[in-house]
Structures are given as structure tokens and as C-alpha cells.
Structure 1
Amino acid sequence: MKFSLRLASLKSGLFWRTFFLLGALTTTSMTAWVGMISVVQHEPQVQQISSQVISVVTITHAALTHSAPELRRELLFELVSNEGIRVFPLEEDDKVEPPASNALMPDIEKLVKAKLGADTRFSSKVNGVAGFWVSFNIDDDQYWLMLERERIRGLTGIQWLGWASVVSVVSLVGAAFISSLINLPLRRLTQATRDFAQGKRPAPLPEKGPIEIMEANRSFNQMVDDLQQVESDRAVILAGISHDLRTPLARMQLEVEMANLSQEAREGMQSDIGQMDAIIGQFLDYAKPTEASSFINVDISELLTDTAHEASRLPDVRINTDIAPGAHAMGNATDIKRVINNLIENARRYGKTPGQDVTEIDIKCSVKGMHTSKRVIIEVQDHGSGVPPDQIEQLLKPFTRLDTARGQANGAGLGLAIVERVITRHNAELHVRNRDGGGLQIQIVMKAL
């Protein structure tokens, strides 16, 4: 599974796409260049080598023909020592191997035979001696003239392959460098977006480079500033609304206490005022930002134990705990505790087993995985009637209340929305599902320390 994900990432990553495209373009261009050079150089190289062979054979033939017999030995020695040319008599029993098989040799043979005669022979090795061998006649005698192959040899296939490999490596390194330059601004933008989604304030992106990248970075920086300002303004507005609403609520509470009302009417009005105050608190909790800069090493085990102990004091709740010791994660302890309290309150309100006066709530915590893959898993579940499977996703939406499935709701429908918002800011996972045996199970998965 992990291999397939990595392979998919490899195929879809912009860096690798750019790298492979540049590599393919470079390889295609180099192949075309080599083919073009081979075609263009073929004829001139054939002409050059043929002319050289014809000239050497002709000059050697003339020198041997017109020199005095007593000076021929000295002439042959000079040809060997200075020119690398050897002349041997051609014998019938010579062991002759065919000439080298390459693209140039057939055309070279054709041109040389046209000048020196159709009976001219060629060989790559005579009597075990390697070289470029050409036969020629002096009167009725036949001779071998041997040239060093280095004098007439162009680039071999191995040499072409070597140069092509060097060019390919250099081209691929250049493609990787170019891909990195192209991908760097996008990688910075992706990381900044991810940090912002996790509640962090990303460092401003550099507003330089190509005009498209510069404009994208400038727009992102402006967006971050605008959203931060909106978040700040919203917190100030909601704080002001809270103060303005809770002040008259406090006066109403006082007037209810002092009014000449029946006990039933007084308790009903006090309940309504309490609900209004709770709804205001939910709005503030939902709007409150969770700053990543406030994250510390939180002892999740201790926090859950304390929260469960506090919840167990409620008269209509029974808390069952299974909390593994030593579970630690980075986060805001206050916000995590608020999340757990919201889940407990949600279970207390809507998770009561039919026919029972006490709501049974299970709180579990475990640590799974090894090293960098360690995870803290928190579970809060009730034993109620659960939620229809097709409506589970609706639970996390703000202002959503599933009255028919979970009983009557007295809040604003922000409890699980607050949980989802805080968990997202902690870069954790939230899973909501029906519990085996009845009830709702809410699971939080955090990266363990």
C-alpha cells in the first residue's frame, strides 16, 4: 500500500514530471544529434580515410619502385620508424582475417579499389598482427602495406557510447537542477499553506523571481494577512457580543431571583437563561483560534484521568476508563480538555441507554505504533441508540442537531463542530462511527511524543 502511494506520488509530483520531461527531451535531442552527426560525417570521413590510404599506398609504391635496391631496406626501416608503415611480401599461406565490420568500411573499400585496382585486398589482421592491411602490386609481386589503425580510425561505438553516457549524466543533473528551481517556489507555497491550515502563521513568502511566482506569493501573503485580520476582528466582535449579552442575562437572572414567581416558573426561566449563556459560550469556543505557538508537551493520560474524575461527579453519569499511562502529545492542554468535556457532555445528553436513568460513558486511551509512527488514540463512546449511518457526517457541521436520532438538543449544535475545529488545528484525525453494540464512538488520533 505504501509502495503504491509512493509510486503514485512519484508519477504525479511536479518535480519528477519536469525531470522526466526534461530528461526525455534531452535524450531525444542527443539521439537526434548523434544520428545527424553520423549521417553528415559519414561521407567526409570516408573520403578522408580513403584518400589517406590511397596516398600512403601510392607514395610507398613509388618510393619502393624508384629507389635503388640497396637502399630499399633503409627506406623500409625509415617508413616503420617515422611513419608507422610496414611493408611485407604477400604470401599464399598468409592467415588473413576480414576487415573490420563498420559502417565506413564498405565505402572505403569501394573508393580505394577504384584507384588502386579491383584486386586490392583488405584485412584487419594478417598472421596474427593487427592493423589496417592493404595489398598492392609492384610489377608481378604482391605486398601488404600495414597502417596503424589509430591513424585512420574515427570514434568507435564504445567511444560514442562513452561520450553519450557523459552527456546523458550531465543532462540529467541539469534537468534535476532545473526541476528543483521550478519546484522550489511551489514547494514553499505548499508548506506555507499546510502551516496556515494547521493554525500556524507562515513566514512571508519571498516576493521575487518570475512575475507569475512573485504575484502568487504576494497574493498568498496578502491573503494570510487579511485572514489573520478577519480572525482577530471576529474574536473582538464575539467578545464584545458576549459581554453585551451576558450583562442583561445577569440582570434577568437577578430579577428572576427577586421576582414573586412560583418555583416552577422560576426554575423554567433560570433554565432558559442558563441555556442562553451556554449557547453564547459555544459560539465563543467555536470562534476561538487555536494557536500552534501555544502547543506544549501534554500528558494526555493525566489530562483524561482528571477530566474523567471531574465528569464522574455528575449525578446522571457513570464513567468507565481504560487509560494507558505515559501517553504524550503536542497540543494546547486547555483546548484538548475542552474537546474531551464537549464529547462527554454530548454523550451525557444524547447517549443515554433507553430505560436507564444514568448515562454510561467509556473513555479509553492507548498508544500504538513505533518511533515516528507512534499515535495516541483517544476514544469516547456512549451506550445509546447511535446515529443513522447516512447522518454521521452531518454531526460535524456547525448548527446541526439530529433531534430525531439523538433526542432533544438544547444547545446551538456546535459541540462536535468545536471538537472538529480544534482537532484539525492540532493536525490530528477525528473519526466518528457507531459503536458495536449500540451508541456513538468518537476517536481522536494524535501524533505521540
Structure 2
Amino acid sequence: MASWIGMINAVQRGPQVKQTAELVISVVTITRAALTHSAIDLRKELLFDLVSNEGIRITALMDNDVVDPPPDSTLMPEIEAIVKEKLGTDTRFSSRVNGVPGFWISFKIDDDEYWLMLERERLAGLSGVQWLGWAGVVGILSLLGAALISRLVNLPLARLTVAARDIAQGKRPDRLPEKGAQEIIEANRSFNQMVEDLQQVESDRALILAGISHDLRTPLTRMQLELEMANLSTEARDGMQSDIGQMDAIIGQFLDYARPTEAASFVPIDISDLLGDVGRAAERIPGMRVTADIEPGVHVMGNATDLRRVFNNVVENARRYGATPGLDITELDIACHVKTNGGIKRVAICLQDHGCGVPAGQIEQLKKPFTRMDTARGQANGAGLGLAIVERVVGRHNAALTVRNRDGGGLQVELVMAVVL
């Protein structure tokens, strides 16, 4: 704004000085010519017309006139120089004569000297109100321009923030557009490359994990055969078979964790029947008591094998660590109900045990691979991938997973998915 005001002053100064000086010279010259060439008896009417129509007052210049200095303006010295060059160096200027304000300038007709007064409004430049108006217009335009530039800058940053948040949540964001300012292009290009590198690392890790786990199955099978043929005591045989079984279960978890799930394989699934099968299978496990409250006929899009693996992992987690305090059994509640929110139907699937639960501050740790809350959930024999597999599969199904402690004790795992109508 300061630069704009300075520019306007610099550009306006010269033309305003010239225009004002030419106006004064023109008015004085024409008025003097009119008075000189008019009849004496008509001069009064001429003076009256000049005052009423043009705002020009003519009075005789007296020696006893009370004359104030010229108008206090930065342009006045330059105006005076131009006017005196045309009208004579004895031309006088005043801002007030005998108490009457105006723009006063003297001139001569023969030996007589007169004052000519112009209204100041005819000579004034931009007023304070006009300056304020122009400043307001420029200020609004500046704000609009700043808002546009800010949006152009902030939109890519906001898009980058959303993509970074998706990365933090384990999702793969859409590719960022590589256009705009050079800095934005470089940032988006680097981020896209980082996403591709992370995806490649994830794929390599899953491939290596699956390969190692698969290769370990062969020696385990051979050990199992040799164990059956070995001449061992029943106690030693049972212990070694238990160890081999645990190793095989851990390898199975590795394979489940590394196995990809493609959305192209999703089909409509009767989740009610699937949960019913899981519940009936859980009831056949010694020491398990299952209570089911499942709404029939609920369908979702997904992979039945992976979803069954999710529910089986939660059931196995409850069997191992969710025994009801004071009892030798594990109580498991399975619920499935459709809820409508904002016109959208979703199914809420809840599996909960009645055990001791886990410390509230460590619940999120349960979802991380190779993590076990041994102090809260008893001694673990697995690899700590149960809930990590659950979260991985749930994320690929665009579902919401919530893990929290159950009111009254125990751990509650809730899965919310969109319903297929």
C-alpha cells in the first residue's frame, strides 16, 4: 500500500501541477480579456455572471488588503513558477484576502491591479475521502490476490498433509500431482517416490516373510515324521509335539500376515452365516463358552477366507488370554447388528471376552506386529501377530477397527463394515 501511494504521488504530481497552472493562466487571461473588451456599463453584469456561473470573483487590489500567504501545498511552488512565467513575475498569490478564503491571484489591466479568486475545489487534487476510497479498493484487491495466492500455495500443502496422514495410518495415498511451483513439484515428486519405495519395501518384506515361513514348513514336517518314528517316552514325545505345533502355528501367522488381499477378489458375503460358523467352531474348543447375538441375512463385500481368519484370530486371542477370572473357562460374546447413520447402513461386529483386559494406555500396541501384552493377558506362545493380521485385513476391506476394554472386564474388538443391499 505504501509503495502504491508513493507511485501515485510520483505519477500524479507532474500532470496535476501542469493542469492547475494552465487552468489558472487560462482563467486569468480570459477574464482579463473579457473585462478589457467589454463596455464599461456592462462590466457589473459580467462580474455577476462570472461569480454566479463560474465561481470567479473579481475585486480591486488595495494597499490595505489583509493578505494571507499562498495555500500550504507541496505543489504550490511549482505552480507559482509556471504562472509567473506566463503572467509576470509580479503576480501575487494568496489563500485568503480580507478574511475571504479561496485561491487568490493578482493581475493587471493597464495600471489598475485586481484580485481574481477561484474556488479551491476546482484546484484540489484527490481529497482524503477519495484517497480512502482508492486505498479501500486497492486493499480489497490485494486481499483477494493474497487469498488466491495463499490458496494456490496451501492447496498442495493440504493435499500433502492428507497423504502423509494416510501413510501414518498404514494406507497408500493417491499419487500427488507433479505440477505448480517448482518447489511443490519437487516435494510431490519426492513424496511419490517415497510412497513407491515404501510399497516396494513392504512387498519385499512380505515376500521374504512368506518365503522363509513356507520353507520352514518342510523341516518341521520332517521333524514331525521323525518324532513319530523315534523311540521316545510319552512325556518327551508330547513335549516335542507341542513345541513343533507352536512353531507351526507361528509360521502360519507369518504366512497370514504376509499374504496379500486384493480388492478384486471381494464378493458379497453373508457375514451372519460366517460369524455363526465361527461361533459354532469356537464352542467346540475345550474351555470356551460362546454367546451369540447375530442379526441374520447381513451381507458385506470382502474375502471370506480373510474375514474368517480375522475372526478366528480374535477367538484364539480370547482363548489364550481372555479366561474369566475365577473360572476355568473363556466366555466369548459375538454380536452382529446393522446400524443406520446418515442414511448409510453399516454392520457392527463385536467380539469380546470376560478376561482381565489390558492397560488402557497399551491397547494401541496390541495392533503392532510382534507385540504381546504378556503382563496383562497371560503368557503368550504366538508371534504377536494376531491383532496385526486383523488390522491388516480390516484395512484392506475399508472397515473400521476398534479395540478397547470391555465394561466389566475383558477385551472388546469391534469391526464396522459397509452393508451390501
Find the counterpart in structure 1 of residue 88 from structure 2: none
Once the 2 structures are TM-superposed, how far is the Cα of residue 338 of structure 1 from its aligned partner?
Answer: 2.3
Find the counterpart in structure 2 of residue 119 from structure 1: 98
Residue 275 (structure 1) aligned with residue 246 (structure 2):
yes
Which letter does structure 2 place at the counterpart of 1:379?
A: C
Once the 2 structures are TM-superposed, how far is the Cα of residue 280 of structure 1 from its aligned partner?
Answer: 0.2
Find the counterpart in structure 1 of residue 410 from structure 2: 439
Once the 2 structures are TM-superposed, how far is the Cα of residue 222 of structure 1 from its aligned partner?
Answer: 3.4
Residue 177 (structure 1) aligned with residue 156 (structure 2):
no
Find the counterpart in structure 2 of residue 96 from structure 1: none
Give matches, 1:290-439, under 5 Å: 290-291=261-262, 303-323=274-294, 332-366=303-337, 370-371=341-342, 377-389=348-360, 391-425=362-396, 429-439=400-410
Tell whether the 8 Å contact from 1:339 to 1:419 is kept in structure 2 after alignment. Answer: yes
Tell whether the 8 Å contact from 1:319 to 1:361 is kept in structure 2 after alignment. Answer: yes
Once the 2 structures are TM-superposed, how far is the Cα of residue 361 of structure 1 from its aligned partner?
Answer: 0.8
Which letter does structure 1 place at the counterpart of 2:404?
A: R
Once the 2 structures are TM-superposed, how far is the Cα of residue 383 of structure 1 from its aligned partner?
Answer: 1.0
CA distance in 2, matches of 1:103, 1:39: 19
Find the counterpart in structure 1 of residue 125 from structure 2: 154
Once the 2 structures are TM-superposed, how far is the Cα of residue 360 of structure 1 from its aligned partner?
Answer: 0.7
CA distance in 2, matches of 1:421, 1:359: 26
Find the counterpart in structure 2 of residue 229 from structure 1: 200
Once the 2 structures are TM-superposed, how far is the Cα of residue 320 of structure 1 from its aligned partner?
Answer: 1.9
Tell whether the 8 Å contact from 1:116 to 1:136 is kept in structure 2 after alignment. Answer: no
CA distance in 2, matches of 1:369, 1:42: 72
Cα displacement string for residues 398-440 of structure 1 (whole angstroms, at most 9, x for unaligned residues) = 3333444323322122212323344455565544433222222
CA distance in 2, matches of 1:389, 1:192: 29
Greater Cα radius of gyration, structure 1 or 2: 2
Cα displacement string for residues 214-252 of structure 1 (whole angstroms, at most 9, x for unaligned residues) = 443443343333333333333333333233222232333
Residue 253 (structure 1) aligned with residue 224 (structure 2):
yes
Q: 1:240 to 1:394 in 2, by over 3 A?
A: closer
Tell whether the 8 Å contact from 1:311 to 1:319 is kept in structure 2 after alignment. Answer: yes
Which letter does structure 2 place at the counterpart of 1:118?
A: V
Tell whether the 8 Å contact from 2:93 to 2:105 is kept in structure 1 after alignment. Answer: no
Once the 2 structures are TM-superposed, how far is the Cα of residue 136 of structure 1 from its aligned partner?
Answer: 11
Find the counterpart in structure 2 of residue 85 from structure 1: 54
Once the 2 structures are TM-superposed, how far is the Cα of residue 184 of structure 1 from its aligned partner?
Answer: 4.7
CA distance in 1, matches of 2:159, 2:349: 33
CA distance in 1, matches of 2:96, 2:361: 95
Q: 1:237 to 1:51 in 2, by over 3 A?
A: closer
Tell whether the 8 Å contact from 2:104 to 2:115 is kept in structure 1 after alignment. Answer: no
- Consecutive unaligned residues of structure 1, counting only runs of 5 or more, are 1-29, 91-101, 124-131
Once the 2 structures are TM-superposed, how far is the Cα of residue 39 of structure 1 from its aligned partner?
Answer: 9.0
Tell whether the 8 Å contact from 1:377 to 1:446 is kept in structure 2 after alignment. Answer: yes
Once the 2 structures are TM-superposed, how far is the Cα of residue 279 of structure 1 from its aligned partner?
Answer: 0.6
Cα displacement string for residues 340-369 of structure 1 (whole angstroms, at most 9, x for unaligned residues) = 221111111111123433311112345567
Once the 2 structures are TM-superposed, how far is the Cα of residue 88 of structure 1 from its aligned partner?
Answer: 7.7
Tell whether the 8 Å contact from 2:288 to 2:331 is kept in structure 1 after alignment. Answer: yes
Once the 2 structures are TM-superposed, how far is the Cα of residue 31 of structure 1 from its aligned partner?
Answer: 4.4
CA distance in 1, matches of 2:27, 2:395: 86
Specify the SS of the correspondent of 1:360.
strand
Tell whether the 8 Å contact from 2:322 to 2:353 is kept in structure 1 after alignment. Answer: yes
Find the counterpart in structure 2 of residue 60 from structure 1: 31
Specify the SS of the correspondent of 1:274.
helix
- Consecutive unaligned residues of structure 2, counting only runs of 5 or more, are 60-70, 81-90
Partner residue of 1:239 out of 187, 190, 210: 210
Cα displacement string for residues 258-302 of structure 1 (whole angstroms, at most 9, x for unaligned residues) = 555555554444333222211101112223344566566766555
CA distance in 2, matches of 1:113, 1:377: 96
Specify the SS of the correspondent of 1:363.
strand
Tell whether the 8 Å contact from 1:200 to 1:291 is kept in structure 2 after alignment. Answer: no
Find the counterpart in structure 1 of residue 83 from structure 2: none
CA distance in 2, matches of 1:154, 1:330: 75
Specify the SS of the correspondent of 2:285.
coil
Identity of aligned residues (%): 66
Once the 2 structures are TM-superposed, how far is the Cα of residue 382 of structure 1 from its aligned partner?
Answer: 1.0
Deviates more, 1:291-300 or 1:174-183: 291-300
